[in-house]
Amino acid sequence: MSNYSDISLTWFGDVTSNTGQAQYARALLEPLIKNGAHVKIEPVNSGATQADLQPFWHEVIPRSIRNQPGIVKISHCQPKQATPNIFGGPSILLAHWDTLGVPVSWVEDINKNFTQLWTSNMAAVTTGVKDIKIPTDYIPMPVEADTVGDVAELVDVTPQTTVFGFTGPWDNRSNISDLVIAYCAEFSVKDDVALVLKTGGKNPADPNTRNQILGLIRDLKKTLNKPNLPPVVVLQDQFSQNAMDAIIRRFNIYVSTSRGQSVNVTLTKCLAMGKQCIAPNAGPMYDYANTIESPLMYPIRYFSEPVIQMGEAGNPADRWIRPDLHDTMSSMRRAYFNRLIKKQEKASQKLTENMLSLYGSDVIVERLAGMVRNVMPFKVKTLA
- Superfamily name and number for 162-359: Glycogen Phosphorylase B; (3.40.50.2000)
Name the CA dihedral angle for 188, 189, 191, 196, rounded to a multiple of 10 degrees. 90
pLDDT in tens, 110-133: 999 999 999 998 888 877 788 899
DSSP structure class, residue 128: S
- Give long-range contacts, CB 8 A cutoff, 24+ apart: 322-326: 322/175, 322/178, 322/259, 323/175, 323/178, 323/257, 323/258, 323/259, 323/280, 324/300, 325/178, 325/181, 325/182, 325/185
According to the model, what pLDDT value does residue 382 have? 46
pLDDT attached to residue 253: 96
pLDDT digits (tens, 9 = 90+) for 69-84: 999 999 998 898 888 8
Domain borders along the chain are 8-141+362-375, 162-359
pTM of the model as a whole: 0.90
Give me the pLDDT at residue 281, please: 93
Architecture of domain 8-141+362-375: 3-Layer(aba) Sandwich (3.40)
What average pLDDT score do residues 208-216 get?
82
Topology agreement, domain 8-141+362-375 and domain 162-359: yes
Q: Which helix (H) or strand (E) holds 322?
A: strand 319-323
Please write the tens of the pLDDT for every residue from 339-369.
Answer: 887 767 789 989 999 999 999 999 999 999 9
Decide if 138 contacts 291 (C-beta within 8 A).
Answer: no
**pLDDT of 313-323, one tens digit each?**
567 788 899 99
